[in-house]
Each structure stands twice: as C-alpha cells, then as structure tokens.
C-alpha cells in the first residue's frame, strides 16, 4: 500500500478557490478510517489503524474478515448494502478497542463506504446529560424571535453546550462576505461582534463542503495529517462526507494566526443556500464528542427552520401590504385618465413596497419626484432609461449607469426601473441612495504571497485586528421579495395600461367613423351649394358668399382627412409631412379671414410682420393654427378679442394665440397634449371636447422639429407654436 496524494496544485491568489480540499488524501489524527467499495472490499485505510486499532489489513480485504465487534460489524454491513443503491445516512455506535472508547461512524457516498473510529474521552453518561440539556434548548429556540435574538441565544447556548471559548454566528451577505451578528465569548477575549470577513475566507469549494457536510471539527489546529494508504495509481478518494477529513493547510495557518487551537463550524442552510455559519473557537485543543456535535447540528437545523419561518412571516407582511397597494393602484388607473396622478397619490406606499429611498415617475415627458431628488438628477435619471428595452431594469452601483447620467445622479446609485407603459416612456424608477459605510473587517481582507510553514505560497492574514475601509458608489441590492413585488405590480399595471390603450382605440374608431360618415355628407352638400351659387347670375354679395362657402367646405373636408391621421400618429407611422417654403404671415392672414367669415361675432387683435418664411407642410400648419384659433375662440371671455402675434424667438418662428380666460387647472395641464381626454377644460361651450385639437397641433409641431407650449400670462391663456425658420432675413424678434 502507498500513500494517496491529491493532484499537485500551487495555490495562488488566482486559484485559491480551486484547492482540492475534498480529496486531501489524509485524515486528522484523533481517529482512524477504513474505506470500502460497494462490494465490501477494502480500498484504502489511514496509516494509523495499526497503532490505534491493532489492525493493518491489506487492500482487497473483505469487511467481514476484520476484527470488529458485533455492533460495528452490523452497522457496517447495513451501510455497505445501502451503498449499492446510492448515498447512505450516517450510522453511529459506541465501541471499545482495548482500554479506549470510540465513536464508530459509518457513512457512504458514490458507491464507497467509510468506517471511521473517532476517539472519545467522555463517558457515555455525560453524553446523555448533554442530550437532555439540548432538548430544553431546542424548545427555547423554537419560541425565540426576532432573528437577532434567536442568533444571540444560539451563540450563548452552544458555547455552554460545547465548552468553546468563543462562539460566533456569521450572517452572509449578497456578496458572500459575512458579518459577525452574534457572539458569546470568554471575558478576556477581544470581541469580534460587528466585524466583517471577506468572501475569500470561505472559497467556493469550501462553501460546497459546508452544504454537503454541515458540521466540521478541528480538535487541534497544529495536528500532523495521517495519510491514507491504498493501491498505487488509485484515484483520490472523495472525502466530502468524512468526519475525519483533513483540512486545508492554509486554513490551519489561518486558525493559528488567530491564536485558535481548536475550531468547529456548523452550517445554517436555508433553501439549499449557505445563509450563515456558527463558528466555534478554543484557545487550546478541544475535542467535542461526535454525539454532542450531532446535537449541535440538529440545533442549527432548528435555528434554520426558525429563521425560515420568521423571514417568511416578514415577507408575508410585506407582500400583503403590497397586495393592498396593488388593488388601490388598479382602482385608480381604472377611474383616472392620468396614470402619473394615480402614482403620485400612492407614492409613499409604493416607495415602501419597493424598499426605495426615493421615486422618480415619468410619462409623456412629465416627471414627478418623491424624496430628496433634485430636478437635474431626475432629468438625468429619466433620460438614462431612453435606450432600455427591458420592462425591469436594475442598477446597484454607479458603474452600472450610462454616461452622462453616471456623473449627474449624485448619491442615487441604486435603481429599480419598472416600465409600466413603454410607448410614451412610462417608468416608475425606485431609487436607493449610495451606502457609504465604514466596514470593520476582521483584519485586512487580502491574502498575500509570503513564506509560510509550507514554503513560498499563498498565506492567510496574519492580523485579525479591526481594519476599517470606506465603501462608496454602491447600494444595498434589491432582495427577492422586493423584486417579486415589483414584478407583480408591473404585471397588473401592464394589464391596466393595455385596457386603457384598448379603450383609446375604441374611442378613436368611434370618432373616426363619426367624422367619416356623419360629417362628410353634409359637407359635400355645402360644397355643391357653393358651386350652384357661383354658376348663377347673382349679385356680387352672393358671389362672395358662394366663394366663402366653397373655400370653407374644402378646408373642412381636408381637416376631416387630417383627423384620420390620429391613427397614423398612434401607430407610429407618422404624419407624412411634405415641407416647402411657406409664408407663415400670409397663411395666418388667410386663416383669420376665413375665421372672420365663419364667425362674424369674433374679434381678433393681430400683430403680424409683412412676411415670415418657414419650411413646413402648409396644410398641416394651417390645421394646427386653425385648432389654436378655434380653441381660443371657444374659451375666451365674451367681449374680449383673440390675440394673434407672429415674430421670431431665437432661431425659430413663433406664433402666439392668446385669449382672456382663467388659467387651465394644473391637473388638466398635465394631460393637455394627450388624446381622448374625458375631462373638460371647464368651459360650458366645450363640454363635448375630447382634446384632439391640441393633441394634433402638438404632434404637428413635433413633426416639424418645433414645439407647442402653454403658459398663463395673466389675464391671458397663451399657446405658442414654434417652427424652424427658413434660411433668409427675419423680422424683429418677439421679446
């Protein structure tokens, strides 16, 4: 037989997490091990079986030929039979070899069975007393709450149960670093409570072992490993499930650097994930009997179940509140035309449900903020979503933001974006502030390359004094509960917005059918009457009337066709503009003449230059100006003229249409340029309006690269249509 050795590996900063700690090829010296195949034949043993148990069988010896007592023989036979069908549960029985007491542990994995003899120094009656004490402790743990108090209790009670100098409870973070959240210690030891330890202290392969084998004991960190003996060239044995498995030399050095002579680790596993760890340290060698360790393992499972219950209850409370918010939100979206107004009314419960510090909500270019967010930050945050195609967007550090937002967002580095209505840029943007925190590490986190007891290699930290680091430019990540709430809210909002768009489509279809059917026939009759008047031998006044009738009917017919373009705008096809140089002054005069003829009772105060040339689609601009004039005429106080003024502003032509009236209410201004509004602007003469005129005028302006803006200039309501100028001289600017 020859010693089994793991594949050689030079452990460095780059491959520390690849150290083959599951196949060390050796055990700790406080026990002895035999390994059998599924047929019960010996494939390897530890080099100390002769000295400890008085037997040194060769490879191939059947288990039945070994001189074990009846209890050990029966437990081993049972495990070998089960191993042929898969992994087995550990079986333990007390046994005696000569004058020494042992715990015999049989377990198996992957067709192999391990028979481990662990030396025990405590008599069996002492072990029984520990079991009774553990039973009382389990009952206390099942009643304890909240989580912080539960962890403090388990640290205190496990120290009393095992006798370790220090017992700590780690809680792992999202990045796998761990905080010491509870501690019970000897009074003369320095406290570790509140310190954080880096993820590199427990590499990936070690975390895997903590899940497979939830308890590990090192009775003496200065031990000399005992090699496994087997056939030459035999594959290394996977010892993941062995209680005597030797541990990494780096970890032993780590413990010695801390002044720890014995340690025990017990995993806290939630949902198949390593949630926390109970770490026990002793300043002198200490061996805890196997049965007491198994009691500690059961305690950790009780703690894990209790934590699971408490966290589930907390999630349930949050989810219940979110469900109530979702119902209120859906009710508001059904009954209100403005989604942003609904969101603003529910901003505080929405912020709490998403676990946000602040909110930015935007749609149709409008932005609402909740919390300490400046206007500049809100604009940058909203603008950063313009290229996003996902419905849910997460950012948890400054580097995740695109430029230029990255430098403009200030402290708001965390974002959870919910695209509730992507077409008009509808977003709920939950924000979290930068978490500038002073982290108290348990020693400087980095490992270094330095000479150690194993030569020039990776060495763990030599000092565990508190080492502080300032962490910036990141925030607390959104947990699964908040993300589930966000997904649920978003799904309901999508349903509500789809219903809203369907309602818009139905309203648009009904309106277009009305325009196409109910109005086209009477307009055609007006046109025919005008033609008949022009063909007759009428006095000059009748000739003029006929011309006006025909001109107006032709323009009204064009307007009906243009209103049909609402569907083109909504579907994204566009208006199909044809730009030519147009004298905006002449076009305005023609529209005013037409308005005076159609509405003799209206009056206009006009300030126009002789000529002002713009590149535009004349019919579309005429449509927009006609809508503005009609809007002003309907809403002006009786006896006051409609003001029309044309000039330039910066590099644009600007035409103002104003009328004396009360200011438009703020809640209506928010949706002034949206279609199919059910709210009236409050004028008795326009109760049937559904807001298409201003919507179409706004879209025409945008299509020309211009703008349509509203302001109140007491006592006037003012709409300003701006269009890019044609190359050439311009009249005096409007001031």
What DSSP string describes 381-448? HHHTTTT--SSEEEE-BGGGSPTTHHHHSTT--EEEEEEEETTTTEEEEEEE----EEEEEES-S--E
CA–CA separation, 713 and 707 (whole Å): 18
* Residue 586: pLDDT band with limits 50, 70, 90: very high
Q: Higher confidence at residue 137 or residue 361?
A: 361
| Beta-carbon count within 10 A of 8 CB | 6
| Beta-carbon count within 10 A of 667 CB | 12
pTM for this model (two decimals):
0.63
pLDDT on residue 469: 57
pLDDT on residue 166: 96
**pLDDT at residue 235 is higher than 50:** yes
Residue 656 CA: distances (Å) to CA of 264, 397, 613, 700: 82, 47, 16, 16
Q: Higher confidence at residue 73 or residue 11?
A: 73
pLDDT on residue 721: 95
Question: Which helix H or strand E contains 104, and what residues bound it?
Answer: strand 100-109
Q: Going edge to edge, which strands form the sheet with 262-270?
A: 215-218, 262-270, 273-282, 166-172, 178-185, 196-197, 437-442, 466-471
**pLDDT at residue 243 is higher than 50:** yes
- Asked if residue 146 has a cis previous peptide bond (ω within 30° of 0), the answer is yes
pLDDT on residue 567: 57
pLDDT on residue 334: 79
CA–CA separation, 518 and 523 (whole Å): 9
Q: What average pLDDT does this structure show over 440-449?
A: 51
pLDDT on residue 487: 92
**φ, ψ for residue 101 (rounded to 5)?**
-95, 140
CA–CA separation, 116 and 133 (whole Å): 27
Q: Which range (447-456, 473-482, 523-532) has the least confidence?
A: 447-456
Q: What average pLDDT does this structure show over 277-303?
A: 92
Q: Which two tokens stand for residue 119?
A: 């030396």
* Residue 457: pLDDT band with limits 50, 70, 90: very low
pLDDT on residue 333: 85
Q: What average pLDDT does this structure show over 398-424?
A: 89
CA–CA separation, 486 and 392 (whole Å): 8
pLDDT on residue 233: 83
Q: Which long-range contacts (CB under 8 A, 24 or more apart) does 565-574 make?
A: 565/696, 566/508, 566/512, 566/675, 566/692, 566/695, 566/696, 567/508, 567/512, 569/696, 569/699, 570/504, 570/505, 570/508, 570/675, 574/703
Beta pairing class for 604-607 and 642-649: parallel
pLDDT on residue 673: 81
Q: Give the single-character DSSP code of 95.
A: E
Average per-residue pLDDT in the chain? 82
Q: Higher confidence at residue 679 or residue 550?
A: 550
What's the pLDDT tens digit per position in 63-117?
Answer: 999 999 999 999 999 888 887 776 677 889 999 998 899 999 998 888 899 999 9
Residue 381 near residue 429 (C-beta atoms within 8 A): yes
E strands in 173-209: 178-185, 196-197
Distant-in-sequence, close-in-space partners of 537: CB < 8 Å, separation ≥ 6: none
Q: What average pLDDT does this structure show over 216-234?
A: 93
* Residue 232: pLDDT band with limits 50, 70, 90: confident
Q: What percent of the chain has pLDDT over 90?
A: 43
What's the pLDDT tens digit per position in 644-681?
Answer: 999 998 889 999 999 999 998 887 887 788 765 544 44
* Residue 245: pLDDT band with limits 50, 70, 90: very high
SS3 719: strand
The residue among 162, 163, 143, 486 whose CA lies nearest residue 153 is: 143
pLDDT on residue 538: 56
What's the pLDDT tens digit per position in 147-200?
Answer: 999 999 999 989 988 999 999 999 998 888 888 999 999 999 989 898 888 777
Q: What average pLDDT does this structure show over 115-125?
A: 85
């Amino acid at each position: 037989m020859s010693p089994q050795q793991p594949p050689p590996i030079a452990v460095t900063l780059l491959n520390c997490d690849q150290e083959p700690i599951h196949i060390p090829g050796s055990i700790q010296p406080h026990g002895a091990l035999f390994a059998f195949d599924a047929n019960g034949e010996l494939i390897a043993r530890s080099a100390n079986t002769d000295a400890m148990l008085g037997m040194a069988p060769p490879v191939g010896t059947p288990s039945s030929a070994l001189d074990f007592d009846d209890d050990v023989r029966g437990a081993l036979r049972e495990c070998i039979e089960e191993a042929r069908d898969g992994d087995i549960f550990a079986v333990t029985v007390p046994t005696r070899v000569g004058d020494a007491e042992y715990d015999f542990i049989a377990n198996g994995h992957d067709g192999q069975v391990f028979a481990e003899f662990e030396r025990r120094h405590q008599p069996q009656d002492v072990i029984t007393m520990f079991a009774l004490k553990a039973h009382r402790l389990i009952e206390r743990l099942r009643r304890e709450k909240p989580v912080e108090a539960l962890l403090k209790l388990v640290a205190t009670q496990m120290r009393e149960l095992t006798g370790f100098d220090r017992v700590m409870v780690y809680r792992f973070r999202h990045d796998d670093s761990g905080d010491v959240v509870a501690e019970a210690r000897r009074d003369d030891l320095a406290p570790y409570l509140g310190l954080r330890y880096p993820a590199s202290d427990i590499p990936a392969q070690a975390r895997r072992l903590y899940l497979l084998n939830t308890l590990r004991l090192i009775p003496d960190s200065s031990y000399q490993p005992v090699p496994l003996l087997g056939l030459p060239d035999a594959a290394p044995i996977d010892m993941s499930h062995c209680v005597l498995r030797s541990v990494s030399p780096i970890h032993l050095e780590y413990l010695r650097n801390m002044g720890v002579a014995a340690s025990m680790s017990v995993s806290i596993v939630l949902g198949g994930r390593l949630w926390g760890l109970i770490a026990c340290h002793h300043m002198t060698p200490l061996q805890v009997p196997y049965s007491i360790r198994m009691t500690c393992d059961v305690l950790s499972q009780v703690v894990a179940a209790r934590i699971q219950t408490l966290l589930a209850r907390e999630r349930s409370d949050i989810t219940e509140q979110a469900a109530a918010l979702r119902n209120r939100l859906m009710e508001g979206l059904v009954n209100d035309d403005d989604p942003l107004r609904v969101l603003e009314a529910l901003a505080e419960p929405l912020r709490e449900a998403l676990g946000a510090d602040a909110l930015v909500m935007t749609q149709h270019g409008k932005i609402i903020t909740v919390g300490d967010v400046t206007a500049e930050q809100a604009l940058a945050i909203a603008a950063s979503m313009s290229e996003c195609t996902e419905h849910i967007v997460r950012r948890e550090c400054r580097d995740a933001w695109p430029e230029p937002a990255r430098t403009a967002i200030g402290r708001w580095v965390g974002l959870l974006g919910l695209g509730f209505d992507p077409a008009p840029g509808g977003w709920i943007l939950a924000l979290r502030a930068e978490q500038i925190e002073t982290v108290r590490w348990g020693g400087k986190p980095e490992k270094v390359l330095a000479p150690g007891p194993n030569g020039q290699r990776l060495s763990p930290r030599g000092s565990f004094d508190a080492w502080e680091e300032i962490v910036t430019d990141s925030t607390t990540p959104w947990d699964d509960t908040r993300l589930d709430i966000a997904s649920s809210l978003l799904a309901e909002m999508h349903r509500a917005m789809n219903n809203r768009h369907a309602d818009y489509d139905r309203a648009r279809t009904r309106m277009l059918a009305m325009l196409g059917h109910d109005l086209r026939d009477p307009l055609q009759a007006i046109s025919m009457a005008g033609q008949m008047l022009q063909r007759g031998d009428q006095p000059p006044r009748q000739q003029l009337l006929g011309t006006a009738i025909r001109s107006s009917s032709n323009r009204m017919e064009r307007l009906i066709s243009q209103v049909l373009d609402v569907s083109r705008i909504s579907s994204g096809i566009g208006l199909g503009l044809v730009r030519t140089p147009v004298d905006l002054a002449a076009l305005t005069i023609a529209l005013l003449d037409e308005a005076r003829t159609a509405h003799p009772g209206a009056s206009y105060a006009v300030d126009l230059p002789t000529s002002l040339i713009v590149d535009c689609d004349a019919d579309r601009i005429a449509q927009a100006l006609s809508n503005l004039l009609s809007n002003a005429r309907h809403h002006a106080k009786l006896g006051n003229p409609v003001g029309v003024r044309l000039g330039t502003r910066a590099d644009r032509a600007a035409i103002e249409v104003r009328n004396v009236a009360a200011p438009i209410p703020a809640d209506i201004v928010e949706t002034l340029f949206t279609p199919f509004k059910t709210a009236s602007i409050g004028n008795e003469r326009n109760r049937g309006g559904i807001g298409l005129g201003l919507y179409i005028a706004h879209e025409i302006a945008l299509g020309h690269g211009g703008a349509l803006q509203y302001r109140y200039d007491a006592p006037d309501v003012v709409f300003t249509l701006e269009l890019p100028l044609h190359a050439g001289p311009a009249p005096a600017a409007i001031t």
